[in-house]
Amino acid sequence: MSQLREQLLQVTRALSELGLNRGTSGNVSVRDGHGMLVTPSGMAVELMTPHDMVWMDMQGNVSSKSNGSDKAKPTSEWRFHRDILQARPEVHAVVHTHSSFATTLACLRRDVPAFHYMIAVAGGDDIRCAPYALFGSQALSDAALSALSERRACLLANHGMIAVGASLPQALALAVEVENLCEQYWRALQLGEPHLLSATEMQAVHVQFQGYGSWKSS
């Protein structure tokens, strides 16, 4: 578990260094046996240590025996981390950010359509925006799960973005790519409505992506 704690901390730091999260915003989780490790609530990244990562079982119980820090509490968003990991056995890591461009589009409650072929990295022909729900609530978790159906990323209305992966590095890489796509889409919208790829054109992209590096179809 010590190695997973260190990896979780490194990804959390990377999100801050890349500007995808600032201050105490955002959170990350990774599957660990019959439970998960999640980042702590309300703690600045620069103050976090591996011992501050919180272990929870899939019923949402915090285990004092499995945690290195008695003071750390799990992120308030632990429900959607738990629910995603339970519903998607192929997923082992969940990244949640309040990155600028993804959040901007989420505040407009816009899906990101197939304006660019790289939309396929999120698993479909668009990146859906989940309906608004209060942060930390079961309603938000339910909305996120629906938006992530047959997808690896989604936006959360008036909130941010979620990206998932088979590993922490994969989930981080997808979060970076989704933020990049959101920036490109936002910039294109400043000039007008971009031309969208057709379903047939996107199907060809999905076929081309099969077995292609870290974006291979799962």
Cα torsion at 12, 15, 17, 23 (round to 10°)?
-80
CA distance 104 to 188: 14
Burial classification of residue 70, based on how many CB atoms lie within 10 Å of its CB (0-12 exposed, 13-18 middle, 19 or more buried): exposed
Per the annotation, the verdict on 77 as an active-site residue is: yes
- ∠112-162-65 over CA atoms, to 5°? 175
- ∠207-127-178 over CA atoms, to 5°? 90
Please report, as a single letter, which amino acid is at residue 3: Q
- Name the active-site residue from 77, 150, 177, 193: 77
Catalytic (active-site) positions: 77
